[in-house]
Amino acid sequence: MTDSESQENDGSPHEETRRDFLMISTVSVGAIGAGLAAWPFIDLMNPSKDVLALASTEIDLSGIEEGQSITAMWRGKPIFIRRRTDREINEAQTVKLSDLKDPETDDQRVKKGKSQWLVMVGICTHLGCIPMGNKSGQTRGEYNGWFCPCHGSHYDTSGRIRKGPAPKNFPIPPYKFLSDNTILIG
Amino acid sequence: MSSTHNNSGPNWKNPIVKWVDHRLPIFSFAQHSLIDYPTPRNLSYWWNYGSLLGIVLVIMIATGVFLSFNYTAHVDLAFDSVERIMRDVNYGWLIRYIHMNGASMFFLLVYIHIFRGLYYGSYKAPREILWIIGVLILLTMMATAFVGYVLPWGQMSFWGATVITNLFSVIPFVGPDIVTWLWGGFSVDNPTLNRFFSLHYLLPFVIFGLVFLHLWALHTHKSNNPLGIEAKGDKDEIPFHPYYTIKDLFGLGVFMIFFMGVVFFAPNLFGEPENYLRANPLVTPPAIVPEWYFLPYYAILRAVPDNFVDAWGLLPVIIDAKTSGVIAMFASILLLCLLPWLDRSKVRSARFRPIYKQLYWIFFADCLLLGYVGAQPAEGTMLLIGRIATFWYFFHLLILIPFVPLIEKTKDLPASISEAVLGNDEKVGEAAE
B218-254 pLDDT, tens digit each: 999 999 999 999 998 889 999 999 999 999 999 999 9
Round to whole Å and give the CA distance between B180 and A161. 23
Strands (E), chain A: 57-60, 68-74, 77-83, 117-121, 146-148, 153-155, 161-163, 175-179, 182-185
The alpha carbon of residue B415 is apart from the nearest alpha carbon of chain A, in Å, by 50
The alpha carbon of residue B144 is apart from the nearest alpha carbon of chain A, in Å, by 18
In which band, very low, low, confident or very high, does the pLDDT at B2 lie, cut at 50, 70 and 90?
very low
Assess contact for B70 and B14: CB atoms under 8 A: no
- What is the DSSP secondary structure assignment for residue A81, as one 8-state letter? E
Q: Which of B166, B282, B378 sits opposite A127 (nearest CB)?
A: B166
User: Taking residues B115-119, what's their average pLDDT?
Assistant: 98
Q: What is the largest CA-CA distance in chain B?
A: 77
The whole-angstrom distance between residue B429's C-alpha and the CA centroid of its chain comes to 37
Over pLDDT 90: what percentage of chain A? Answer: 37
> What is the structure's pLDDT at B247?
97
* Tens-digit pLDDT profile for residues B344-368: 999 999 999 999 999 999 999 999 9
Using a CB–CB cutoff of 8 Å, tell me whether A127 touches chain B.
Answer: yes
The alpha carbon of residue A48 is apart from the nearest alpha carbon of chain B, in Å, by 7
User: Taking residues A84-95, what's their average pLDDT?
Assistant: 90
Q: Answer whether A127 sits within 8 Å of B162, measured CB to CB.
A: yes
pLDDT at B51 > cutoff 60: yes
In which band, very low, low, confident or very high, does the pLDDT at B10 lie, cut at 50, 70 and 90?
confident
Taking the CA of residue B161 as centre, how many other CA atoms within 13 Å lie in the half-sphere pointing to its CB? 31
Round to whole Å and give the CA distance between A55 and A49. 12
Taking the CA of residue B18 as centre, how many other CA atoms within 13 Å lie in the half-sphere pointing to its CB? 5
Chain A residues whose beta carbon lies within 8 Å of the beta carbon of residue B162: 127-129
> What is the structure's pLDDT at B380?
80
> What is the structure's pLDDT at A164?
81
The residue ranking higher by pLDDT, B314 or B415, is: B415
Chain A residues whose beta carbon lies within 8 Å of the beta carbon of residue B186: 47, 51, 54, 75-77
> What is the structure's pLDDT at B170?
84
* Tens-digit pLDDT profile for residues B296-306: 999 998 887 65
Q: Which amino acid is residue B298, in one-letter code?
A: Y
Assess contact for B201 and B61: CB atoms under 8 A: no
Residues of A that are catalytic: 151
- From A34-38, B36-40, B283-287, the region with the lowest mean pLDDT: B283-287
Q: Which of A48, A128, A129 sits opposite B191 (nearest CB)?
A: A48
A154 backbone dihedrals φ, ψ, rounded to 5° = -110, 135
Round to whole Å and give the CA distance between A180 and A71. 19
Using a CB–CB cutoff of 8 Å, tell me whether A165 touches chain B.
Answer: yes
Burial of A89 (0-12, 13-18, 19+ CB in 10 A): middle
pLDDT at B425 > cutoff 80: no
User: Taking residues A122-131, what's their average pLDDT?
Assistant: 86
Chain A residues whose beta carbon lies within 8 Å of the beta carbon of residue B193: none
Residue B291's nearest CA partner among B95, B66, B105, B53 is B105
Using a CB–CB cutoff of 8 Å, tell me whether A186 touches chain B.
Answer: no
User: Taking residues A44-66, what's their average pLDDT?
Assistant: 87
Model confidence, pTM:
0.87
